[in-house]
Amino acid sequence: MTAMLKKTLIRLSNASRLVYILALVASSAAYAVPSDLSLTGNLSSPTISVNNSSTLTYTLSNSSSSNSASAIGFTINLPTNVVIADQTNDSMSCGSGDYTLSAGGNSVIASGYQLGQGQNCQLVFNITASAAGVFNITSTELSSSDDIGPDSSTTLTVSDTNVFAALSLSSSSISAGGSTELTLALFNPSDASVYGFSGQIILPEGLVISSTTNLTSDCGDYMTLAQSADARSITLSSQNSPFEFFAFLPPGSVGTPSSCSVIIDVLSSGAGNFNLTTSDMTYSGGSIKIGKAGASLSVQKQFVNMVLDPFTVTPGQTANLNVTLTNFDRSNTANNITFTDDLNAALTGLIATGLPLNNACGSGSVVSGTGSVSLTNGSLAGGESCSFTIPVTVPVGASIGSYTNTVSNISSSIDTYPSVTNSFRVSNAPTLTMSVVESPITAGDAITLRYTLTNIDGANAVSDLTVSTVIGATSVASITTLPGSNFCNGSGISAISSPTIDSFNVDLSAITLAASESCSFDVGLTLSEGLNSGSYYFTAQQIIATIGGNSVSSKSPSASASIIVDTAPSLRFSFQDNVMLPGASGFIDFELSHHLNASA
C-alpha cells in the first residue's frame, strides 16, 4: 500500500470517528432525561388594579416514582414595579427547609427542602404592583442534591383604568378588647358607571365584627352587605345590570375618580399583629378583576385597658366602663398606680356614677370623680392584674356618632406608660332584621320575607318611621302580599313603589314604636319561574324616624336577607287531542326540563 493511500485511509477513519461522536452527542441531546423537579406559579387574580394585590402560589413537585429529592432550592424574581405586598400572608407547606421574603421586597429565596417521590408542596404569598403593565414573574435556580429543574414564568397584568380599592383603619393600633373602624373604599377612574361588584372583607382569628356594628355603605342602593354567622366576614355584592340606578359607582376620571365606602366596626379579642384582607374583588359580573386590598392592625396589651360595654349606647343610657390593669413586670411590685380618664373630653356630659370605689386595685386604692375619673394609690404584685367596673351615663342630648375616650397620666413606681384609647358609638336609631322563612328554595317558589323592627331607645318612643326594601326586577321576584295597614303594633302603612322600570320596592311608613318595643311582620314574594341557581339578596335601605322631636337615621343599608336558589327539574304534560271519544286511544306529551344553570 502506498504512503498516499495510507494517509487517505487514516483521514477517512478519523472523519468517521468524528461523525460517530457528533451523532452520539446529538442523540444524547435528543433523548435527555427530563427533570423530576418542577416549580409552577399561579395567581389568584391574574389581573389586578394598580396598588391592589394578588396571591401568588408556587407548587413545588417531585414527579419521580422512585427517588426522593433533598437540598431543594430555588429563587423567585419579581420585576420592576412588582413587590411583595405589605400584608404578605405567606405560608409554606413543605415540612423542612427555609425561605426568606419581606414586605416590599422583590425576591424570594428558598433552600434545604425535601420531597418524597410523587410529593408536592406549596409556597404562598401576596404581591402588588405600583404601575400598569404586563409583568413576568420568574422562578430560577431550581435544583436538588442530584437534579436541576427548569425555570418558569407567571404573567401578571396590572390596570390603571379599572376600579381600584383601598382598605384602611381609623386607628391602626388599639388596646386588647378595643375597637377600630374598618373602611373599604372603592374608586372608579373610568368615564362610565360600573356595576356588578363582588367581594368579601375577611377578618383573621382574634378579630370580629361588632355585634352592634356601624355597618354603612354609600355605594348605591343596590349594594348588599351580608355578615357571616361567625362575624368574621362581610360579603358585598351589587346588581350587574347596565342601568344607572344599579351602579355602585358613577363615572369618574383618572385624575379625579368617583368613590364610595363601606364601613364596619371591628373588635379585638386578643393581642397581636393582624393582617386584614379582602377576597379577590371583581365587578361587571366577575369579568373585570380588581384584586385584593389589605391593612394591618396592631393590638396591644396595655398596662391599662378600658372597654365600654355595650359598644353602642343610646342617649341617656347607663353603660359599664370595664377597666383592667396588668403589671407585666413579674419581678417587681407596681405601687402608687395612677391614671386619669377625662370622660367629658370624650363626650360632653358623659359622667361616671357610683363612685368612689375603694380598694378597687390594691388595698388603699381609690377610683373617684364624675366628669373626670382618676385612680390613685393602686398597687399590683409582679405579673398580677386587677379589674373593676365604672358605671357611666350617656347624656340625653348626645349626638349620634363615634367617640374616642383617652386614658392618660398613667404611671406606677416602676414606670410611666403611654396613653391608651378606647372607642364607642352613640346611636338610638331603630334596628331592623330580615330573614327568609322557607328553606330550601327553588325557582317559582312563594317565599316569606320576615321583618323585625326594634326601638333600642329605652326612654323614648319612635314615630314617623319609614324604610324601603329593594326587591328588584320581576325576573327575580314579584311582590305578592303586603302586611297591610297597622301591621306594627297598631301602626304602619305598606305600599309598592317602582323607582325605575321593572324595579320594585316595598315601602313601609307611619310606624310608631314605644320605648324598647318591637314588632314583626311579613311580606310575601314569588320567585320567577326562570330564575337561575345562585344567591340573591333583598336589601332594606336606611331607616328614617323621629325620636324626641329629633330626626334619626340608621346605618345604610339597615338590613338584608339572602336566599340560595336551586332550580329543580320540572315536569309538564298535555294531551295531543283536545277532544276524545269514550274508549278511544290517545297520546300524552310529557316534557321534563332542567334549568341550564341548575347546580346539579
Whether the predicted pLDDT of 211 surpasses 70: no
Q: Where are the domains of the chain?
A: 37-159, 164-300, 304-426, 431-565
pLDDT of residue 458: 83
Within a 10 A sphere around the Cβ of 120, how many other Cβ atoms? 16
Whether the predicted pLDDT of 119 surpasses 70: yes
pLDDT of residue 17: 45
CATH code at 431-565: 2.60.40.1530
Q: Percentages helix, strand, coil for the chain, rounded to the nearest 5?
A: 5, 55, 40
Average pLDDT for residues 24-38, to the nearest whole number?
56
pLDDT of residue 3: 43
> How many Å apart are CA 594 and CA 600, to the nearest integer?
9
Whether the predicted pLDDT of 214 surpasses 70: no
How far from 400 is each of 36, 112, 136, 545, CA to CA, in Å?
65, 58, 51, 13
Query: Model confidence over 515-562: pLDDT tens digits?
Result: 999 999 999 999 999 888 887 888 898 899 998 888 888 877 888 888
Query: Model confidence over 485-506: pLDDT tens digits?
Result: 999 999 999 999 987 777 899 9
Residue type, 117: Q
Query: Model confidence over 142-174: pLDDT tens digits?
Result: 999 888 999 999 999 999 999 999 999 988 888
Average pLDDT for residues 368-375, to the nearest whole number?
97
Give percent above pLDDT 90 in the chain: 59
Query: Model confidence over 222-239: pLDDT tens digits?
Result: 788 777 766 788 888 887
Rounded to two decimals, the pTM is 0.73
* Assigned fold of 37-159: Immunoglobulin-like (2.60.40)
> How many Å apart are CA 325 and CA 345, to the nearest integer?
22
Whether the predicted pLDDT of 9 surpasses 50: no
Q: Which three cell numbers stand for residue 303?
A: 398596662
User: Would you mind telling me the total number of residues written for the chain in this entry?
Assistant: 600
Note whether 58 and 140 are within 8 A (CB). Answer: no
User: Taking the mean position of all CA atoms in its chain, how far away is CA 67?
Assistant: 43
Q: Is 282 helix (H, G, I), strand (E, B) or coil?
A: strand
pLDDT of residue 531: 87
pLDDT of residue 23: 37
How far from 465 is each of 319, 394, 508, CA to CA, in Å?
26, 24, 8
Which residues, other chains included, contact 252 with Cβ-Cβ below 8 Å and sequence gap of 6+? 187, 188, 189, 190, 191, 258, 259
Note whether 145 and 97 are within 8 A (CB). Answer: no
pLDDT of residue 265: 86
Q: SS3 for 512-546, per residue? A: EECCCCEEEEEEEEEECCCCCCEEEEEEECCCEEE
pLDDT confidence band for 14 (50 / 70 / 90): very low
Whether the predicted pLDDT of 30 surpasses 50: no
Whether the predicted pLDDT of 345 surpasses 70: yes
* Assigned fold of 164-300: Immunoglobulin-like (2.60.40)
Q: How many CA atoms lie within 13 A of 487 on its CB side?
A: 21
Whether the predicted pLDDT of 202 surpasses 80: yes
Q: Which residues of 501-530 are buried (b: 16+ CB within 10 A; e: fewer)?
A: eebbbbbbeebbbeeebbbebebebebeee
Q: Which three cell numbers stand for residue 495?
A: 305600599
Higher pLDDT pick, 333 / 595: 333
Higher pLDDT pick, 90 / 582: 90
Residue from 439, 562, 465 nearest 518 by CA = 465
Which residues, other chains included, contact 404 with Cβ-Cβ below 8 Å and sequence gap of 6+? 346, 421, 422, 423
DSSP states of 470-494: EEE-TTTEEEEE---SSTBTTB-EE
pLDDT of residue 508: 96
Pick the CATH number of 304-426 from 3.30.70.260, 2.60.40.740, 2.40.50.140, 2.60.120.1440: 2.60.40.740
Which residues, other chains included, contact 403 with Cβ-Cβ below 8 Å and sequence gap of 6+? 346, 347, 423, 424, 425, 426
> How many Å apart are CA 70 and CA 85, to the nearest integer?
30
Query: Model confidence over 238-266: pLDDT tens digits?
Result: 877 777 777 899 999 989 999 999 988 88
Whether the predicted pLDDT of 394 surpasses 80: yes
Average pLDDT for residues 32-60, to the nearest whole number?
92
- Two domains, one topology: 37-159 and 431-565: yes
pLDDT of residue 51: 97
pLDDT of residue 401: 82
